[in-house]
Amino acid sequence: MGPGETAILESSLRSFYRLFAPLPPLPAALPGRMNVIDHVRDMAAAGLHSNVRLLSSLLLTMSNNNPELFSPSQKYQLLVYHADSLFHDKEYRNAVSKYTMALQQKKALSKTSKVRPSTGNSASTPQSQCLPSEIEVKYKMAECYTMLKQDKDAIAILDGIPSRQRTPKINMMLANLYKKAGQERPSVTSYKEVLRQCPLALDAILGLLSLSVKGAEVASMTMNVIQTVPNLDWLSVWIKAYAFVHTGDNSRAINTICSLEKKSLLRDNVDLLGSLADLYFRAGDNKNSVLKFEQAQMLDPYLIKGMDVYGYLLAREGRLEDVENLGCRLFNISDQHAEPWVVSGCHSFYSKRYSRALYLGAKAIQLNSNSVQALLLKGAALRNMGRVQEAIIHFREAIRLAPCRLDCYEGLIECYLASNSIREAMVMANNVYKTLGANAQTLTLLATVCLEDPVTQEKAKTLLDKALTQRPDYIKAVVKKAELLSREQKYEDGIALLRNALANQSDCVLHRILGDFLVAVNEYQEAMDQYSIALR
């Protein structure tokens, strides 16, 4: 800075200080007169955060140079408003520092029985005595810590608030943080406290159901509001549906949500359609899953939730151009969610660009560490790059977050098989079979492991036959049965199996395998037709 600029700055500061020079005594404080703190508060309330930041910074410097300029309560307010403006600018670490200083100032203020009058701002409106809530300051600090991924510090600051003083949003944040940290009991307690204060807090209900609280117990906490508020007769069915979701009973969950979705008042609800799409996906019914995702998209073209699964399904079907278009559309909506990055990662993965898929998966996890689809994408990319042990870590984390999702276990078992750990794969497959029950998916998963050991080939065949008896159109079971028939060189049986599976659905993998079988029996022209369909 040159000498001229320095002189101008010093002159401006002298002028600014004169604004706060001691005023001659007034006969009486004018009722409508505002001090500078009132102006800062009004700007903050008006959302003028950049203006608050500049002015509060200057005022705090003045206060540091002249401690008598503002009263302790006024300095507390300045620190809070300045921290709020930093929070708005996403400078979370700096905001935490200023919030901490504000709390220290408030602590000192609490020790004084009366507010010390300020030298330069003797008049004060009644509003100036309404100090920012200390509880709200602590909540904002916790928000900063979560943005900085310092969950332990966030829990510590909120845990320090006495239970009676915790607002619903504080209890909700605490519940989510406890759940993320694996502390189930305090998480349940906090969710229940949210429901006690706000019985229609549906996300808190989902939180309780995800922690294995019985649906009947959760429903009992909302019974009073259902009986007293009109048009809430659907809520008990909604709770029942999501209780099935969180116990892994996909079939009953689908039926219950379908019954809700068919009701005239809840027809075409995007959240219910998204849940149905996800449930069909979990049940291995990819065709209906895609249909429900497309229906939800048509109703809400800005929908982001669940689009990562939709993108994965499209990529798996070989519809890479559609995946690319979906990724571009999602990035135009928001690049601060994991879903667009996962969709683009699926495009890269199925284009065999595993390094790029790995990068995009990591970026998605950075934005949302609870994104199961991002963990699966990154794990699959690591596995295909030969980094199996790192992949295992990601699949285990996915299982922790979504213990009822079979694809998480499939990824882990594929890692075990890739590293020739057949025993570990068999133990895991048997555990899944016992935990999630004997259905087409778990039977196929167990058969997949049995196929790796020559001793258990017959068992694999029996398991696959059971799976296909339950669901003749289950693609993964068809693929594995075709693999077994190929080993036995029973090509005609394989062709019949594949034609039957493709009668009511189209899948690029099945068309490709059918092409291979047709080549084996010298049906080259039809094989070319099947390959062409697979490439569409």
| pLDDT score at 123 | 45
Alpha carbon distance 298, 290 (integer Å): 12
Report whether 353 contacts 341 (CB < 8 A): no
What tokens were used for 84? 């709020």
Domain ranges of the chain: 10-17+34-112+128-165, 421-535
List alpha helices for 28-167, DSSP H. 36-45, 49-65, 72-88, 92-110, 134-147, 151-159
C-alpha to C-alpha distances, 365 to 6, 355, 386, nearest whole angstrom = 48, 15, 21
Alpha carbon distance 227, 235 (integer Å): 11
Contacts of 337 by beta carbon, 8 Å cutoff, 6+ apart? 304, 330, 367, 368
- Report domain 10-17+34-112+128-165's class: mainly alpha
Q: What is the 3-state secondary structure (H, E, C) of 312-344?
A: HHHHHCCCHHHHHHHHHHHHHHCCCCHHHHHHH
Average the pLDDT over 510-518 and give the result.
92
| pLDDT score at 366 | 95
Long-range contacts of 279-285 (CB under 8 A, 24+ apart): 279/245, 279/250, 279/253, 279/254, 280/254, 281/309, 281/313, 282/250, 282/404, 282/405, 282/406, 282/407, 283/250, 283/251, 283/254, 283/441, 284/406, 284/440, 284/441, 284/471, 284/474, 284/475, 284/476
Q: Would you give the distance in Å from CA 295 to the centre of its chain? A: 22
Alpha carbon distance 409, 434 (integer Å): 13
Alpha carbon distance 372, 394 (integer Å): 9
What are the pLDDT digits (tens) for 398-424? 999 999 899 999 999 999 999 999 999
| pLDDT score at 167 | 96
What are the pLDDT digits (tens) for 183-213? 999 999 999 999 999 999 999 999 999 999 9
What are the pLDDT digits (tens) for 241-279? 999 999 989 999 999 999 998 877 899 999 999 999 999
CATH number 1.25.40.10 is the correct assignment for the domain at 421-535: yes
In which region does residue 33 sit, left (phi positive, over 0), alpha (psi from -120 to 50) or beta (all else)? beta
Average the pLDDT over each of 139-153, 293-307, 432-446 and give the range with the smallest value: 432-446
61 pLDDT higher than 60 = yes
| pLDDT score at 329 | 97
Contacts of 522 by beta carbon, 8 Å cutoff, 6+ apart? none
pLDDT band at 536 (very low <50, low <70, confident <90, very high): confident
pLDDT band at 22 (very low <50, low <70, confident <90, very high): very low
Report whether 408 contacts 399 (CB < 8 A): yes
pLDDT band at 44 (very low <50, low <70, confident <90, very high): very high
HSE, CB side, 13 Å, CA atoms: give it for residue 151: 12
Report whether 398 contacts 408 (CB < 8 A): yes
| pLDDT score at 206 | 97
10-17+34-112+128-165 with 421-535: one CATH topology? yes
118 pLDDT higher than 50 = no
Alpha carbon distance 426, 432 (integer Å): 10
pTM: 0.83
Residue type, 236: S
| pLDDT score at 25 | 38
Alpha-carbon torsion angle 427, 432, 434, 436, nearest 10: 180
| pLDDT score at 53 | 97
| pLDDT score at 473 | 85
